[in-house]
Amino acid sequence: MEAHAQLRGGIDLGGTKIEAIVVDEAHTILGQARRLTPTDGGPPAVVAELATAMREAASAAATEISDLAGVGVGAPGEVDMWVEYSKWKAANPEAAEKALSGGLIGSPETIRKKLRRFRTSHIDQVILLNQAGKNSHEHICESLELFAREVMPEFKRDPEHEAWKAGVMSGTIQLEEIDTAAFTDRYGKLAVSVAPKSAAAAG
């Protein structure tokens, strides 16, 4: 039917559930359905439930599967992140070098030096991704133990930073406004605006 030429279907196949939707050209959901992923019967049973879920979603959208321009299926699969990273690294050598130079990678003294530079910007929290690449569990544990033993003690207490942080939280110290356009351009709608406490309370 011509009126339905722009309608499309989508199916999300998960480990416990199957969810199907029908959307229009503006990606507005017109109908949806959810069914449990079969645990018995193998692939034929799963395919049958996929078809049923799609039919139910089409019915909820007042259309038929045959009227859809197409149906996409998303299914879980294995991804070798090390292989993907290696491809990205080979295709983007300059970006890879920049990422490594900015990361907390190296000896305990190297890490301490980088953290000291962070501290001058009043950064007091960092997130370390140790379980990346082909590191073994034993190596990850050794790295964590080394970090805790030879890096953390220096940064456990910082009275000067704590005083600065208390001043910021109380409003005694006003932070300099910075241009966040680059962040907004990169992340768009993912960026979150947080209203000041006074404004939130007034609302």
- What CATH number has the domain bearing residue 21? 3.30.420.40
Same domain, 117 and 152: yes
In a domain, 202, yes or no: no
Residue of higher predicted confidence among 129 and 159: 159
In tens, the pLDDT along 86-112 reads: 888 899 888 888 777 767 888 999 999
Closest CA to 128 of 104, 94, 149: 104
Q: Which residue has the higher pLDDT, 123 or 130?
A: 123
pLDDT of residue 53: 95
Predicted local confidence at residue 38, as pLDDT: 92
Residues 70 and 137 in one domain: no
Q: What is the pLDDT of residue 4?
A: 52
Q: Which residue has the higher pLDDT, 186 or 75?
A: 75
Q: What is the DSSP letter of 37?
A: P
- Kindly report whether the global pTM for this prediction surpasses the value 0.85: no
Q: Which domain holds residue 63?
A: 2-74
Query: What is the pLDDT, as a whole number, of residue 1?
Result: 42
In this prediction, residue 122 carries a pLDDT of 86
Residue at 129: amino acid letter? L
Tell me the one-letter amino acid at 104: L
Question: In terms of domains, do 114 and 153 share one?
Answer: yes
Q: What is the model's pLDDT at position 5? A: 57
Q: How confident is the model at residue 200 (pLDDT cuts 50, 70, 90)?
A: very low
Residue 31 CB neighbours (<10 A)? 18
Q: Give the model's pLDDT for residue 85.
A: 80
pLDDT tops 50 at residue 3: no
Report the pLDDT averaged over residues 144-163: 91
Write out pLDDT tens, residues 10-50: 999 998 999 999 999 888 999 999 999 999 998 899 999 99
Are residue 12 and residue 87 in the same domain, yes or no? no
Residue 136 and residue 82 in contact, taking contact as beta carbons nearer than 8 Å: no
**d(Cα 149, Cα 111) in Å, to the nearest integer?**
13
> How far is residue 26's CA from residue 128's CA, in Å, rounded to a whole number?
40
Tell me: the pLDDT tens digits for 160-194? 888 998 998 998 988 888 787 777 777 666 655 65
Provide, rounded to the nearest whole percent, the portion of the chain with pLDDT above 70.
87
Is 9 a member of any domain? yes
In a domain, 201, yes or no: no
